[in-house]
Structure 1
Amino acid sequence: MTDTVYKICGREEWLEAQSAGAYLGNADDIRDGFIHLSAADQVEGTLARHFAGRTGLVLVAVDAAALGPALRWEPSRGGELFPHLYGPLPMSAVRSAGPIGPQP
């Protein structure tokens, strides 16, 4: 579908993931059984819908191919296909990470 997918998360949870060597997901990810990701054209909508008003957010760019078969494109919001990661997000798959959204 695309060669880069994205994860939006809080700065503190991202720092913990870096220390651990993998991102295991936030409460929503754990509840749903997969890590919610977005394609580039979905990031803005995800930010507005799920992170409105939050500060201290990080946008993580991930090499989709490095995730292998654990990455699945499945229908979600409005039937649109979204990338879902069934397993941890290894730091080796991360291309970049930086601040996104309103910052303090």
Structure 2
Amino acid sequence: MPERTYILHITERRLWDQARERGAYAMSTRGRTLQEEGFIHCSTRAQLPAVAAFLYGSYDGPDELVVLVVDPARLGVPLRYEAPKPGGEEFPHVYGPIPVTAVVDVEPWS
């Protein structure tokens, strides 16, 4: 899969399994929903290691972590690249739930 085409989101396996049952994924980041945050935090392949370390560096949960590989062309909701502070690195933010049909692969994360 070409890196430039896809965006990534790291999550717990059980949250992805629940999303598959509902038809859409709606967690923004670790412990926060789309409704609470306003968008779903994603990353590029290059950004993923730092994001995973920041969010899950101390993770000792019962579920394995997985990376959702998302095709932006299948989202059906806005995708914006935004920096957390002016002049900072831009990250992909999805402004709506991610349909399970937009997830083209699920990779294990260790």
When normalised by structure 1's length, the TM-score is 0.85
Q: Equivalent of 1:36, from 27, 41, 46?
A: 41
> Partner of 1:53 in structure 2?
58
Tell me, yes or no, if the aligned pair for 2:77 and 2:97 is still in contact at 8 Å. no
Please show how residues 1-104 of structure 1 align to structure 2 within 5 Å: 2-26=4-28, 27-30=31-34, 31-54=36-59, 56-68=64-76, 70-76=78-84, 79-101=88-110
Q: Which has the higher helix share?
A: 1
Counterpart CA distance in 2 for 1:97 and 1:54 is 19
Q: Distance in 2 between matches of 1:7 and 1:94?
A: 10
Q: Deviations over 1:1-49 (max 9, x none)?
A: x310001001111110011111011542432211000011100000011
Q: Percent identity?
A: 37
Question: What is the root-mean-square deviation of aligned Cα atoms in Å?
Answer: 1.8
CA distance in 1, matches of 2:48, 2:84: 14
Output the TM-score relative to the length of structure 2.
0.81
> 1:29 touches 1:36 (CA, 8 Å); kept in 2?
no
Structure 1 residue ranges without an equivalent (≥5):
none
Q: Which stretches of structure 1, 4 residues or longer, exceed 3 Å deviation after superposition?
A: none
In 1, distance between residues paired with 2:76 and 2:92? Answer: 12
SS of residue paired to 1:40 = coil
Tell me how many residue pairs correspond in the alignment.
100
